[in-house]
Amino acid sequence: MIRCTLWRTLCALPLLILPATVFGARPNFIVIMADDIGFGDVSAYGSKALRTPNIDRLAAEGVRFTSGYCSASTCTPTRYSFLTGEYAFRRNGTGIAPPNGQLVVPVGVPTIASVLKSSGYRTGVIGKWHLGLGQPPAPDWNGEIKPGPRELGFDYSFLLPTTNDRVPQVFVENGRVAGLDPKDPLWVGDKAPSPDHPTGVSHRHTLKMDWSHGHNQTIHNGISRIGFYTGGQAARFRDEDLADRWVEKTVAWLAAERDRPFFLFLASHDPHVPRAPHERFVGKSGLGPRGDAILQFDWCVGEVNAALDRLGLAEKTLVVVCSDNGPVMDDGYVDFALEKRGDHRAAGPLRGGKYSVFEGGTRTPFIARWKGQVAPRVSDEIVCTIDLAASFAALAGEPVPAQGFPDSFDVSGVLLGRPGAKGRASLVQQDNGQAGNFGYRSGQWKLVRHDSGRAYNQRVEEPLRNTPVPPFQLFDLAQDIGESRDLTVARPEVFERMKSELSAIIAAGRSRP
């Protein structure tokens, strides 16, 4: 009898030691990733011109990070790192994916989705994918498109395959083009299918939004794009309906999965070009289509919030709102983002934006809310989208595979606003990945390295240009958040230390011990 009681007590001990989240109360996870939203673009981060009440509500009920980052200043590498927990600069081919690009994440590598799936979570991705699909030479647009999200651990997927300024404008649901009529096959290519194929050059006068650079090939819905396609007419969507469709699919998926633990990656396209939000948002921001698209994103966040409340899930779900890279004004279409911005500063006080390794390229709004679990707070701990893999695994009580998530740190304590919890000590920031440009933040210090000697978008409020830049710069972010006073000469010891730490992280192949 005594032995039996002792045995029971011993068995119960590990359960007492485990955090509450591991036993009995594992949260659901939703990551809502915006596309090109900047640090200064939402009112919780100081925007006066744009009011974003739904994002602000999450911030007021959760943790609002002032040093929340994505790992790259373009889309594909940030998404690669978010899924795999690996810095994208470690893998070739992770730069901006082309229209017919194949899946850039190797099948078999642990992903945030596969790890949560093996931990008993239902997993879904809805929205912009832009990580390539299928195998060489091109995705099988008229058949089964694989490998794709399913092979990476997602039970459900409803995707815009690339990015909406690239062809084709169709949804891929669970590996097939949704609504495709087999009698009208979809063809996608990088050369014009015939000499008389209408393009943004030959039919420029018919466009409802003109292009400013690139984006002048196949026309759909009055907007010319990057790449060529024909057919698949019944499957094509209107740009204006993208956000509505994703909200619809999200709400339905949440309702279906409400009784099981789930992980949803909801990848918005706002405010990426072409900025064509639904008609009900047009003219509402006063800042032109870019501002209107941000209001549409805020609306999406509100709809997800409302669904969580309605389904009784708000207190069971950790919601993260973040971005895939910083802001850009003219990104290829004449939508007057720069001309109509007024006093609005998309990157807030930060220097640089999309395509750049200055802070504005990767430091963005970043909010985590698990309603009722934490006292709301503002945190200046460093967190990054690359850390969500290890952090969610920890909250799910699932060990990280030995070779998996090599650059992802468990920052779950700070995501939950736990007093005294620490974020990362340092973070490597990259651009699209080809030019050998890096940012390296460690504590208050920021090293900027440009092997190429040039940088895009050094000032987001100026026209997008690739301009000369010194090979190294050092900034003290505590004094100079706008990265304007180079301290490489004044602080040689910090400069040397930062340089060698960055090189060591790049050479080591992994940064998580």
Residues at the contact surface with ligand NG6, assessed by CB under 6 A: 35-36, 74-75, 96, 130, 163, 165, 213-214, 226, 272-273, 325, 331-332
Question: Is 220 in contact with 203 (CB distance < 8 Å)?
Answer: no
Q: Which residue is nearest to Ca ion (CB)?
A: 75
96 binds, among ligand NG6, Ca ion, none (CB under 5 to 8 A by kind): ligand NG6
Token readout for 4 is 């039996």
CB of 459 to ligand NG6, least distance (A): 18
CB of 215 to ligand NG6, least distance (A): 6
Size of the site for Ca ion (CB under 5 A): 5
- Residue 317 or 364: the one with the smaller Cβ distance to Ca ion is 364
- Residue 41 or 381: the one with the smaller Cβ distance to ligand NG6 is 41
Alpha-carbon span 362 to 352, nearest angstrom? 9
- Residue 89 or 253: the one with the smaller Cβ distance to Ca ion is 89
Whole-angstrom CA distances from 466 to 114, 356, 457, 504 are: 39, 10, 7, 28
- Residue 127 or 231: the one with the smaller Cβ distance to ligand NG6 is 127
Q: Phi, psi at residue 493, to the nearest 5°?
A: -70, -40
21 binds, among ligand NG6, Ca ion, none (CB under 5 to 8 A by kind): none
- 37 touching Ca ion, by CB under 5 A: no
**Which residue in 27, 28, 33, 35 binds Ca ion (CB under 5 A)?**
35
CB of 165 to ligand NG6, least distance (A): 5
CB of 95 to ligand NG6, least distance (A): 9
- Residue 80 or 392: the one with the smaller Cβ distance to ligand NG6 is 80
Which range, of 29-37, 60-68, 108-116, 230-238, touches Ca ion by CB under 5 A?
Answer: 29-37
Alpha-carbon span 288 to 281, nearest angstrom? 10
- Residue 273 or 481: the one with the smaller Cβ distance to ligand NG6 is 273
- The upper half-sphere exposure of residue 183, i.e. CA atoms within 13 Å in the direction of its Cβ, equals 1
Alpha-carbon span 38 to 342, nearest angstrom? 16
Residues numbered 318-347 forming contacts with Ca ion, rule: CB under 5 A: 324-325
Edge-to-edge strand ranges of the sheet holding 262-267:
176-177, 172-173, 156-160, 122-128, 262-267, 28-34, 317-323, 367-370, 63-69, 377-384
SS3 187: strand
DSSP string, 298-356: HHHHHHHHHHHHHTT-GGGEEEEEEESS---S-SSB---TTTT-TT--TTTT-S--TT-
Question: Is 325 in contact with 34 (CB distance < 8 Å)?
Answer: no
Name the β-bridge partners of 211.
Answer: 333
- Residue 374 or 464: the one with the smaller Cβ distance to Ca ion is 464
CB of 69 to ligand NG6, least distance (A): 16
Token readout for 392 is 């969610």
Q: Phi, psi at residue 9, to the nearest 5°?
A: -60, -45
Residue 396 neighbours by CB distance under 10 Å: 23
Residues numbered 131-170 forming contacts with Ca ion, rule: CB under 5 A: none
CB of 354 to Ca ion, least distance (A): 7
In this structure, the chain runs to a length of 513
332 binds, among Ca ion, ligand NG6, none (CB under 5 to 8 A by kind): ligand NG6
Task: Tell me what percent of the chain is helix, strand and coil, each rounded to the nearest 5.
Answer: 30, 20, 50
414 binds, among Ca ion, ligand NG6, none (CB under 5 to 8 A by kind): none
Helix (H) or strand (E) holding 223: strand 223-224
CB of 324 to ligand NG6, least distance (A): 6
CB of 383 to Ca ion, least distance (A): 19
- Residue 36 or 41: the one with the smaller Cβ distance to Ca ion is 36
- 483 touching Ca ion, by CB under 5 A: no
- Residue 37 or 367: the one with the smaller Cβ distance to ligand NG6 is 37
- 36 touching Ca ion, by CB under 5 A: yes
Residue 500 neighbours by CB distance under 10 Å: 10
CB of 36 to ligand NG6, least distance (A): 6
- Residue 226 or 394: the one with the smaller Cβ distance to ligand NG6 is 226
427 binds, among ligand NG6, Ca ion, none (CB under 5 to 8 A by kind): none
Strands 445-450 and 472-476: antiparallel
Q: Categorise residue 114: left if φ over 0, alpha if ψ from -120 to 50, beta otherwise.
A: alpha
257 binds, among Ca ion, ligand NG6, none (CB under 5 to 8 A by kind): none
CB of 234 to ligand NG6, least distance (A): 26
Residues numbered 67-106 forming contacts with Ca ion, rule: CB under 5 A: 75
CB of 85 to ligand NG6, least distance (A): 20
165 binds, among ligand NG6, Ca ion, none (CB under 5 to 8 A by kind): ligand NG6
Alpha-carbon span 426 to 383, nearest angstrom? 9
In the complex, the residues that contact Ca ion under the rule CB under 5 A are 35-36, 75, 324-325
